[in-house]
Amino acid sequence: MTDGVPIAAYGPRGSKESVDNIAKAIEAHPNIGGVLLENHGVLTFGASAPLAARANLIIEEAAILGLNARVIGEAKPIPAHMIEYTQQRRDQFSSAGVQRAN
């Protein structure tokens, strides 16, 4: 979710307009795990319920971090090359497995 979370335009809850707006947001961002619903909340999805819940947690934590960043002077975007490097480091740590203290 490094490209942000798309916003689905407002439509009355459960209406065809709302569903169409959500579908447009998802179609425009096929690799995203959630959509912000204008004037409503967050809609997340995944291959399983735990993955959808994880997407929800990530979006909510990112929103909190963004609000906190505004308090201290705005969020600063991470440069693209650093995002790639950070993702590589994540993958290296993940492939190393878990070490437990004896």
Q: Collapsing DSSP states into helix, strand and coil, what is residue 29?
A: coil
Those residues with Cβ within 8 angstroms of residue 93's Cβ, 6 or more apart along the chain or in another chain: none
Mean per-residue pLDDT for 12-36? 93
Distance between CA atoms of residues 26 and 5, nearest Å:
10
pLDDT at 8 over 60: yes
The pLDDT tens digits of the residues spanning 47-95 come to 999 999 999 999 999 889 888 988 888 878 888 889 889 989 989 988 8
Residue 64 CB-half CA count within 13 A:
6
- Predicted TM-score (pTM) of the model is 0.67
Q: What angle do CA 27, 30, 34 make, to 5 degrees?
A: 95
